[in-house]
Structures are given as C-alpha cells and as structure tokens.
C-alpha cells in the first residue's frame, strides 16, 4: 500500500473516441514511465483497493469507480485503447504530485482561459480562495459547505483541443509544420465541451498551426449544444486548410469566439475557387445571435466571413451580433459577405478591415463589404483597402450608421462602377476618409450612391486626401437616384458641385439650407406651406429663393425677390 497518494484528475473521468463519442468498453492501461511494465493505480485516497490493469471503461466511457489515484513521486505512462485494442492516445511521464505551495508554483499559462491571462498560481488561488501565501491544493474554506477540489479538477474545466490529440499531433501543431490532420480532434473537443453545457462551453486552441481538411462547426454532436472556439491570439493560433472548403462554421450564440488566423497559401486571386471560405456564421439550424467574433484574420480566401441566405430553413439569421477586429487579406471576392434571409437585425462591425489586393502582383482586385437583409447596421472605425470598383454594398436595411470609416488605396476603373452603394432608408455618416483612391473610369466616378430606397443620407466630415483622377473622369462624392431622397450635409466637406443629383435639384440641404441648383423653384415632390428653397446659383437680377404658399405636389411657389 502506498504511503501517500495523489489524484490523477477529478471524479468521474470520461473518455471519448476520435469522433467525440463516449469510449464504451475502452481500456486504460497504466505502466511505469517509458516502459511496458505495469504500475498500479488505486480507486481511493487510502490506497485500499487497486484498479484492474487495464481499467475497463463503462458504457459512457467513464472510470467505473469514479477516480484514479497515483502513488506520490512515482511516474506513470497511460495508454488509452478501444475495446478492440486500437490505441487512441498515450500519455507518458505523469507524476503523482505531492501537496503544492501556491507561492512556489506559478509557471505562466497565458490565455489558458479566454479572454484574460491565467496562471496555474491564479487558478489555484481560485481553488483556495486566497490571493497570497501558501496552502494545500485541497484547501476548503471552513463553514462554506463547499466540496473540496483539486488543482487537476479545476484546470480540467478548460477543454483544450490537445486533450483530444495524440502526442504526434500535438508535436506537429507546436512545431508549426501542419503536416498532420487534426480536424477530427478539434471537432471531438467541441462535441465534448457541448455535453458539459448546452450553451456556454469553451474550447481552447493553444499556440501552433492546425492542419484541417473539412468544415469544423461549433455545434455539438447531433446539433445539440453550442461552444465558443478560442485561440491563443491572432498571430499565435493558425488554421492551415488542406483544400478549398469552409474552414469554420460559427453557430455560437451568447458567447465570444476568436483569436486565430485562417490562412491558405498566397494565391493569384483570379484562380481562387468560390468554395474557399474562411468563416461561415449561422446555419439552417442555428443563429449567430447575442454573439461576438473577435480578432480573426482570414487570408487568401474567396470570401473571408459569410452569412448565407437560409430562406426556407428554420433559422440562419443574425441579431445583436458583433464582428470585432476581424480582418480579411487578399480575398478574391467580398471580404465580408452577409447575405441573410429576412429577419436579421443589429449587426456591429468594429475596427474591421478588408484588404483586397491580388496575392500575386499586388494590384486592386477583390471587393469590400456586402450586407443584405440586416435591419440595423453599425460601423465603427472600419477600413477598406485595395478594392476594385465595388468597395461596399448595403441593401434591404432600415438604418446604417458609420462612425469613422476609411477607404484607402481603392480603385474605380469601370464606367458603370459604384464604389459605395446605399439602398436603405436612413443613413448617417460621421467621418468619411477618402485616402489616395484612384478614379480612372473615363466618365462619372460615383463614390457614395444613394439608391432608390434611400430616404435620407446625413453626412459630416468627408475628407479627401491625395486622390488620383485620370483624364476624362469627373468624380462625384455623392449621387442621387430618386426624386424622394434627401441629402443633408452638416458641414462644408461636400459642396454642391461634388453632388450629382440627376436633376432632382432641391433634395440637398447644405448647412441647413435647401438649395435649387437650376435657378428654378421645385417642380416635383410634395411640399408644405412655409417650405423655403434658396437659389443655389445666385446672380444679380436672379431670384433669392422661393417660398411654398400653398401645400401640394409640387405646391405653389412664390419668389422672395431678386438680388
């Protein structure tokens, strides 16, 4: 009988096969470290009863007695097999640990729990309810009625994909070679985490490169449960797809996923297939709701972030959702493509970035951001670079608000191109940067195009810096396409000569003044008695402006006198 024992992990350990299914009838062998010499484990802390060797798992893949106890200071090797003796995993050099003083044990395990750093010391502090000094791992505050816990059981609350990988797979990931496929292991970790909480489980991906060959979804097995997938950082955890497919399907609600990169090899954008997708949000059976995708970068895809149209399916919408610090680099088509079925609402894009130049040659190639059927859209400090002809297209929404957005190094080459098309009723732009963009259409270059469904565009702070305008091209900052649309420019950053109004000459308000740019009173539209329109092309002897004296369409207008 051993003098002192140490628990291997928390009670009721459960093991799974490579598909995430409970390992019914599995076998767990215990040996002396580095050998095939059997070494005894025990069922309880007293060491009164030894486990069978191997331990035969029950139908749920659990240790029948609930616990595994090791002899302190002896080192073990464990081998996990199926009931048919197929080896699934090997763990070597596992030591039975004695009691540990917190003050003496604090190796850094940064980002073990998302989103902040966690050390073994801070995890043990949580167990012991202390922040300084030392105590036993199994410390239990007196009078609380709580159950004593171990450091192992505390740390096992975090599900790591490494828990479901072989030693060879882990070594490949950590070496950054990405030669060994780990798709099944990542999906198994997600399926396991989904069994522990219907909504709210988290799977952690330590630093390294992960080779994958098919789509990984954050749903549990059989679409039961949802899990957040979290990496160690945008430059620490990398997916390396082996083929052209959708890498991740994030269907998580009420949680935050992110902190990783999805990267295909640098490719000429003209040959990237449409099947190469970075992240798909939602699905036929899930929404992306009350959720956030944070710090994810997609490189060399066809589209970076997508939400497809699931019309006719049970779910597939998004609402109260955020994309934060999400980036696409050198995608062949749209960097962000949200094409929802009707019913999505309240999408925020914060500090998102699209760069769409060709991976070979560097010239502008892809497109920026497309959003359809999302009722309210908010952009905060976003930027779009290196797009060709189509920089942004918003359609079928109620309100779009832009709080600082920058377009830099983009190009308009096609005579029919529209850089930014808005096709929803209410639009507010506070801070618009037009930086070193190129306009060589050979005709009218339309930057912001107000489509037929636009009721109002209110804009302030349009800043143009270093544009290149080819011969024969006239650049209009804003263009109308409806006699009922109203443009309101709150400052002088857009002047009347920079607006192409297609003859609807009184639908622009500059610094609070409604102007007629043809020297005539309104001849269309519905007006109310008391409305006033100033002459936007004043000259000596011309009318100062006109007042509406009788409401109607267009009503009765009387000159207020000549200059």
Say if residue 263's pLDDT is above 90: yes
Same domain for 355 and 468: yes
Phi and psi at residue 151, to the nearest 5°: -60, -40
Mean pLDDT, range 360-367, rounded to an integer:
93
Say if residue 301's pLDDT is above 90: yes
3-state secondary structure of 89: strand
Higher pLDDT, 302 or 4: 302
450 in Cβ contact with 420 (< 8 Å): no
**What is the band of 99 on the pLDDT scale with cuts at 50, 70, 90?**
very low
pLDDT of residue 152: 52
Higher pLDDT, 5 or 447: 447
Distance CA 477, CA 521 (A): 25
What length does the chain have? 563
Same domain for 323 and 225: yes
Mean pLDDT, range 458-481, rounded to an integer:
94
Mean pLDDT, range 78-87, rounded to an integer:
91
Q: Is residue 179 part of a domain?
A: no
Q: Is residue 145 part of a domain?
A: no
pLDDT of residue 480: 85
Q: How many CA atoms lie within 13 A of 331 on its CB side?
A: 32
Strand 5-7 versus strand 545-550 pairing type: unpaired
Mean pLDDT, range 96-110, rounded to an integer:
36
Same domain for 117 and 20: no
Distances (CA, A) of 125 to 117, 132, 144: 14, 8, 17
Task: Give 39-54 pLDDT, tens digit per residue.
Answer: 998 888 778 889 999 9
Q: Is residue 146 part of a domain?
A: no
Residue 298, token pair as written in the block: 């997609």
Mean pLDDT, range 149-177, rounded to an integer:
81
Q: In terms of Cα–Cα distance, which of 386, 335, 327 is closest to 351? A: 327
Same domain for 251 and 288: yes
Q: Is residue 174 part of a domain?
A: no
Range of the domain at 370: 159-163+198-483
Percent of the chain scored above 70 by pLDDT?
Answer: 86
Averaged pLDDT of the chain: 86
pTM for the whole thing? Answer: 0.74
**What is the band of 140 on the pLDDT scale with cuts at 50, 70, 90?**
very low
Q: Is residue 187 part of a domain?
A: no
Same domain for 465 and 362: yes
Distance CA 363, CA 342 (A): 36
Q: Poorest-confidence range of 290-299, 319-328, 499-508?
A: 499-508
Residue 544, token pair as written in the block: 């100062």
Mean pLDDT, range 220-233, rounded to an integer:
92
Strand 499-500 versus strand 508-510 pairing type: unpaired
Say if residue 526's pLDDT is above 50: yes
Same domain for 94 and 237: no
Say if residue 507's pLDDT is above 90: no
Residue 542, token pair as written in the block: 């011309």
Same domain for 115 and 91: no
Same domain for 106 and 93: no
Q: Is residue 471 part of a domain?
A: yes
**What is the band of 222 on the pLDDT scale with cuts at 50, 70, 90?**
confident
Q: In terms of Cα–Cα distance, which of 347, 283, 339 is closest to 316? A: 283
Say if residue 155's pLDDT is above 60: no
Gyration radius of the chain over CA positions: 31
Distance CA 181, CA 215 (A): 12
Distance CA 196, CA 108 (A): 27
Same domain for 250 and 125: no
Before 65, cis peptide (omega within 30)?
no
524 in Cβ contact with 552 (< 8 Å): no
pLDDT of residue 329: 97
**What is the band of 18 on the pLDDT scale with cuts at 50, 70, 90?**
confident
Same domain for 327 and 236: yes
Residue with tokens 């006033």: 532
CATH code for the domain in which residue 76 is found: 2.170.14.10
Q: How far is CA 53 from the centre of its chain?
A: 46
Distance CA 278, CA 303 (A): 7
Distances (CA, A) of 361 to 105, 264, 390: 52, 17, 19
Total domains, the chain: 4
Q: Poorest-confidence range of 133-142, 268-277, 533-542?
A: 133-142
Q: Choose the most confident range, by mean pLDDT, from 80-94, 120-134, 546-560.
A: 546-560
Same domain for 86 and 120: no
Mean pLDDT, range 443-451, rounded to an integer:
94
Distances (CA, A) of 2 to 10, 70, 74, 92, 411: 20, 9, 10, 21, 75
Distance CA 532, CA 549 (A): 10
488 in Cβ contact with 459 (< 8 Å): yes
pLDDT of residue 70: 85
Say if residue 540's pLDDT is above 80: yes
pLDDT of residue 422: 97
**What is the band of 241 on the pLDDT scale with cuts at 50, 70, 90?**
very high
Q: Is residue 513 part of a domain?
A: no
Q: Is residue 202 part of a domain?
A: yes
Distance CA 241, CA 312 (A): 31
Same domain for 265 and 235: yes
341 in Cβ contact with 308 (< 8 Å): no
């Amino acid at each position: 009988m051993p003098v002192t024992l140490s628990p291997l992990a928390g009670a009721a350990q459960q093991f799974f096969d490579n598909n995430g299914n409970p390992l019914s009838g599995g076998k767990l062998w215990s040996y002396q470290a580095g050998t095939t010499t059997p070494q005894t484990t025990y069922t309880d802390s007293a060491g009164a009863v030894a486990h069978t060797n191997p331990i035969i798992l029950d139908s749920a893949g659990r240790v029948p007695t609930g616990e595994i106890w090791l002899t302190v200071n002896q080192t073990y090797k464990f081998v996990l097999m199926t009931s048919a003796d197929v080896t699934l995993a090997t763990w070597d050099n596992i030591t039975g640990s004695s009691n540990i003083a917190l003050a003496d044990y604090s190796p850094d395990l940064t980002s073990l729990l998302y989103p902040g750093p966690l050390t073994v010391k801070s995890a043990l502090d949580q167990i012991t309810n202390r922040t300084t000094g030392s105590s036993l791992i199994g410390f239990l505050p007196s009078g609380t009625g709580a159950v004593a816990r171990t450091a192992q059981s505390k740390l096992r609350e975090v599900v790591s994909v490494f828990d479901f990988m072989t030693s060879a797979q882990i070594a490949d990931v950590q070496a950054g070679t990405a030669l060994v496929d780990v798709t099944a292991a990542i999906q198994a970790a997600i399926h396991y985490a989904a069994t522990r909480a219907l909504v709210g489980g988290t799977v952690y991906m330590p630093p390294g490169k992960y080779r994958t060959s098919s789509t990984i979804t954050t749903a549990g097995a059989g679409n039961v449960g949802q899990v957040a997938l979290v990496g160690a950082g945008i430059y620490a955890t990398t997916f390396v797809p082996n083929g052209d497919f959708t890498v991740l399907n994030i269907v998580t609600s009420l949680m935050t996923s992110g902190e990783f990169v999805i990267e295909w090899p640098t490719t000429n954008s003209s040959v990237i297939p449409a099947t190469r997708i970075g992240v798909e949000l939602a699905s036929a059976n899930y929404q992306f709701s009350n959720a956030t995708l944070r710090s994810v970068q997609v490189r060399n895809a066809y589209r970076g972030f997508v939400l497809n149209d699931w019309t006719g399916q049970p779910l597939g919408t998004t609402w109260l959702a955020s994309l934060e610090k999400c980036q696409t680099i050198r995608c062949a088509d749209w960097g962000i493509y949200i094409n929802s079925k009707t019913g999505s609402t309240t999408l925020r894009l914060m500090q998102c970035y699209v760069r769409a130049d060709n991976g070979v040659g560097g010239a502008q190639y892809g497109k920026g951001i497309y959003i359809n059927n999302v009722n309210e859209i908010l952009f905060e400090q976003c930027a779009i670079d290196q797009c060709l002809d189509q920089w942004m297209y918003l359609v079928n929404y109620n309100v779009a608000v832009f709080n600082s957005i920058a377009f830099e190094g983009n190009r308009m080459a096609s005579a029919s191109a529209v850089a930014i098309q808005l096709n929803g009723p209410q639009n507010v732009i506070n801070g618009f940067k037009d930086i070193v963009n190129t306009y060589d259409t050979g005709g009218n270059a339309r930057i912001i195009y107000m489509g037929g469904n636009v009721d109002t565009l209110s804009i302030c702070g349009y800043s143009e810096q270093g544009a290149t305008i080819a011969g024969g091209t006239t650049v209009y900052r804003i263009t109308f396409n409806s006699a009922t649309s109203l443009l309101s420019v709150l400052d002088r950053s857009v002047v009347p000569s920079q607006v192409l109004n297609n003859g609807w000459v009184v639908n622009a308000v500059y610094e609070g003044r409604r102007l007629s740019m043809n020297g005539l009173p309104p001849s269309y539209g519905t007006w109310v008695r008391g409305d006033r329109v100033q002459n936007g092309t004043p000259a000596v002897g011309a009318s100062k402006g006109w007042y509406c004296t009788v409401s109607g369409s267009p009503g009765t207008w009387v000159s207020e006198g000549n200059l």
